[in-house]
Chain A
Amino acid sequence: MEFLTLNKIDVTYDKKKTVLKGLNLEVKEGELVSLLGPSGCGKTTTLRVIAGFIEPSGGEFILDGRNYTKVPVHKRNFGIVFQSYALFPHLNVYDNVAFGLKLQKLKKAEIKRKVEDMLEICGLSEFADRFPGQMSGGQRQRVALARAMVIQPKLLLLDEPLSNLDAKLRINMRVEIKRLQKKFGITMIFVTHDQEECFSISDKVAVMNNGLIEQYDTPENIYLKPKTEFVARFIGFNNFIPLKKQSGGIFITERKELIQVEQETKLEEGLGTIRPDDILLADETVSENVMNATVGVRTFLGRSYQYEVDSTAGKLVVNAPIGKVYEPGDRVRVQLPKNKIIIVRKSM
């Protein structure tokens, strides 16, 4: 039994614009799941449906065996961390964190104990009397987290919580979030467009596009075995060769070249994809998956040169070590190692 289930959620604006179409998602208790995708893919809408800010036009949302689809926001008891932190500007840090507890009508002493514990855990004890306007972005972020966690929510929702922080702080904060998540064993849904951030802390990642989840898997599987062209492009694959299955591990390109692929797939037809780093500029001795190519543009990446080459299988981007430099127009042989090629489904 899953802890959280989104079942065929539809969201439509103005009866015309469909944002989510039959979205399904399942999350286990204590997992940190990221919704990853470009802006406009529906990830924030999904989060807002879970939070209760948007009522879906179809489908249901079950949490811990209870149907939450129509439960109003203030009765859900979910913690939410907003992109803008949304701290209460007129309250100091202590009162910001105590806000939810006061509404639960707890005894004063209990509120005090809980707030102080939470401030301690988040490293905010010395800032209790400060107002949000007097704090840095990172500190406000901690207050937002403390305020959402102190009510012991069933679910913690984070909407691009790190996007307003500078790079160094972002890395610290994501470690912090992961630490708190492990400490409290809380189930988290994390929305982001930053794949590094998302891979580093998530147990599972849902890559979204056009209101649908393209792939829902562990970060490792998303990174190493993308299933669709969209996912592959999103995580940095940029060579795509249209292929048809001939037999077993043999595929055929549009120009009738045979390519061996180690990965097993049920797809009869798709795109062979490979990272620029994995393509080799081959010498005469190898013969497997080798094709002739002409060097086009060369750019310097620091650790390597990136070449755009025109091969018999189409244009390819290749990263090659800086040892040997090729000039535009040079004839080369490129090798696509069979264990590095992944067959993905073509995306619309």
Chain B
Amino acid sequence: MRKNKMLVAFACCVFAFLFLPLFIIAVTAFGGESAITFPIQSFSLKWFANIFTSGSFISSFKTSFQIALFATLLALLVGIPAAYALARYTIKGKNMIQSFFLSPTIIPGIVLGFALYRFIVLVMRMPVFYGLLLGHFLAVLPYIIRVVGSSLSQFDFSIEEAAWSLGCGKVSAFFKVVIPNITSGIMAAFMLAFINSFNNIPVSMFLTGPGVSTFPTNLMNYIEYNYDPTVSAVSVLLMAGTIIIMFVVEKTLGIASLAK
């Protein structure tokens, strides 16, 4: 095979562009100075300690984790049957319903956030936590429908009919035969929705309120007033967490299942 030197150099540049900032952040997390500097002058782990002592990071992490988990589970509960109905039956206006379900991924997040703010906070006056939960549920639902739907579109529904013919009722056949064959799709949808909710800023920004903030919004607020390496330390921990999750996914399902 002929090696194209230009291509190799170009690929190296792209990787450098992608990874150098991450590398610099990771290094600055271990600096002893009170402001982010690179290269670091002295070594210290105090910024890591700072994360756990400051409290707001821990509580907002908890909030974000709960919101992401519950919103995703709720969205799975609603999204799987919706995706099933869309894949299984020929419904009038099927294409329209499909694009309607996907619209939140196309509409700018800030617009969605503002719309939810008007509705959830101003009109319904929901408690902050439940408002956030509802907002995130709506924001991640399209991902679930999309990913589960694409995995259902490859499912041979005569398998389900075979189960019926063998004496299986419709609901029971759905759990015994359909679900086990789309688990990788459901897992992928779960990961995608969870990460999206966990990272979400535009929706959270509008829906957080006194005493309740999500992890990303908390991080943003922190940076506004402090320029110390705590943020870098947080980033390092998040990256480590992501790497561990990806490793587990790769070992159990294979990364490719997320890209399907």
Contacts and interface: CB of A to CB of B under 8 A. Distances in A.
Interface of A: 51-53, 73-80, 82-84, 86-90, 99-100, 103-104, 147-148, 151
A86 B159 contact: yes
B158 A82 contact: yes
B242 to A, nearest CB: 30
B167 A74 contact: yes
Contact of A86 (B161, B167, B180): B161
What 4 A-B pairs have minimum CB-CB distances, sorted nearest first? A100-B166, A86-B158, A86-B162, A73-B164
A99 B162 CA distance: 10
Interface of B: 156, 158-159, 161-170, 173, 177, 180-181
A170 B162 CA distance: 22
A84 B156 contact: yes
A105 to B, nearest CB: 10
A89 B155 CA distance: 10
Contact of B161 (A80, A100, A104): A80
B156 A103 contact: no
Contacts of B158: 82-84, 86
A103 B168 contact: yes
Contacts of A75: 167
Contacts of A100: 166-167
Nearest to A159: B158
A89 B161 contact: no
B156 A147 contact: no
A173 B180 CA distance: 30
B181 A80 contact: no
19 contacts: A51-B161, A52-B164, A53-B161, A73-B161, A74-B165, A74-B168, A80-B162, A80-B165, A82-B158, A82-B162, A86-B156, A86-B158, A86-B159, A90-B181, A99-B168, A100-B166, A100-B167, A147-B166, A151-B166
Contacts of B169: 74
Contacts of B159: 86-89
A145 to B, nearest CB: 12
A76 B156 contact: no
Contacts of B161: 51, 53, 73, 80, 82, 86
Contacts of A73: 161, 164-165
A105 B164 CA distance: 16
A88 B177 contact: yes
A88 B156 contact: no
Most buried by B among A87, A99, A104: A99
Question: Could you tell me the dominant secondary structure of chain A's interface residues?
Answer: loop
Contacts of B170: 74
Contacts of A80: 161-162, 165
Q: Which of B163, B165, B170, B173 has the most CB of A within 10 A?
A: B165
Contacts of B165: 51, 73-74, 76, 78-80, 148
A74 B168 CA distance: 6
A53 B173 CA distance: 14
A41 B163 CA distance: 27
A77 B180 CA distance: 24
Contacts of B173: 74
A73 B166 CA distance: 9
Q: Which among B164, B166, B177 has the greatest number of chain A C-beta atoms within 10 A?
A: B166
Contacts of A86: 156, 158-159, 161-162
A77 B166 CA distance: 7
A103 B181 contact: no
B180 A74 contact: no
Nearest to B155: A89
B50 to A, nearest CB: 48
Nearest to B159: A86
A147 B169 CA distance: 17
Q: Which of B164, B170, B173: most chain A CB closer than 10 A?
A: B164
Contacts of B162: 80, 82, 86-88, 147
A151 B166 CA distance: 8
A81 B159 CA distance: 11
A147 B166 CA distance: 8
Nearest to A89: B181
Given A74-B166, A80-B165, A148-B165, 20 more contacts: A52-B164, A73-B161, A74-B170, A76-B165, A78-B165, A80-B161, A82-B161, A82-B162, A83-B158, A84-B156, A86-B161, A88-B159, A88-B162, A88-B163, A88-B177, A88-B181, A89-B181, A103-B166, A103-B167, A151-B166
B226 to A, nearest CB: 52
B153 to A, nearest CB: 15
Most chain B beta-carbon neighbours within 10 Å: one of A52, A73, A76, A78: A73
A104 B166 CA distance: 9
B181 A77 contact: no
A148 B158 CA distance: 14
A248 B162 CA distance: 55
Contacts of A87: 159, 162
A41 to B, nearest CB: 20
Contact of B167 (A53, A82, A89, A104): A104
